[in-house]
């Protein structure tokens, strides 16, 4: 599968993207929206295609990949695999500043927060969810405010409390809280002033 061919293989990422792999994934997601395994695999393929490759991150967004990932996550809220790979795709796509805006506009922040609340027992989902929120909050005041209003801070804190022994959850949760901290201070100052 495309997913397996792109894991830790930058040359394959480029080959697959150049051969039209992004559009093939998008077609599969559209044609098989009700198929949980297909959505998980396609989100996983987009996740690995986007990893550390700015051009591919932009191409996936241009092809409608962000909306497809969010749609897959909304369509399969109880399926841990879809949620894990969906959050992972949003992590990698959210490295790009323009994609952060598109992810928020597509409802990605609310879907990540909902995923974290629904899958609190999964350390893997919590790590990817915290990481996604951290990337979406990075240097983006609008997203920071949206994460606050969607209950993102409580989701991050719950994740960190539920998985105290999981280094990845602690690191990514701490990173997300750090990026959100400046906005929390701004919000508290505004509330105190009014």
Q: What is the pLDDT of residues 116-136, one digit of tens each?
A: 999 999 999 999 999 999 999
pLDDT (tens digit per residue) in 59-118: 999 999 999 999 999 999 999 999 999 999 999 999 999 999 999 999 999 999 999 999
Q: What is the pTM of this model?
A: 0.92
Handedness of CA 158, 164, 165, 169 (dihedral sign): positive
């Amino acid at each position: 599968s495309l997913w397996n061919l792109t894991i830790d293989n930058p040359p394959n990422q480029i080959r697959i993207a150049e051969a039209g792999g992004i559009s093939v994934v998008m077609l599969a997601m559209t044609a098989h929206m009700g198929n949980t395994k297909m959505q998980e695999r396609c989100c996983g393929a987009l996740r690995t295609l986007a990893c550390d490759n700015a051009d591919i991150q932009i191409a996936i967004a241009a092809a409608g990949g962000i909306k497809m990932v969010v749609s897959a996550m909304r369509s399969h809220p109880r399926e841990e695999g879809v949620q894990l790979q969906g959050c992972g795709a949003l992590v990698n796509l959210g490295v790009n500043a323009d994609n952060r805006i598109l992810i928020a506009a597509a409802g990605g922040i609310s879907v990540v927060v909902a995923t974290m609340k629904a899958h609190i027992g999964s350390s893997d989902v919590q790590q990817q969810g915290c990481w996604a929120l951290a990337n979406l909050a990075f240097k983006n005041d609008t997203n920071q405010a949206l994460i606050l209003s969607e209950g993102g801070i409580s989701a991050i804190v719950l994740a960190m409390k539920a998985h105290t022994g999981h280094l990845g959850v602690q690191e990514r949760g701490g990173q997300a809280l750090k990026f959100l901290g400046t906005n929390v201070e701004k919000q508290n100052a505004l509330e105190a002033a009014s």
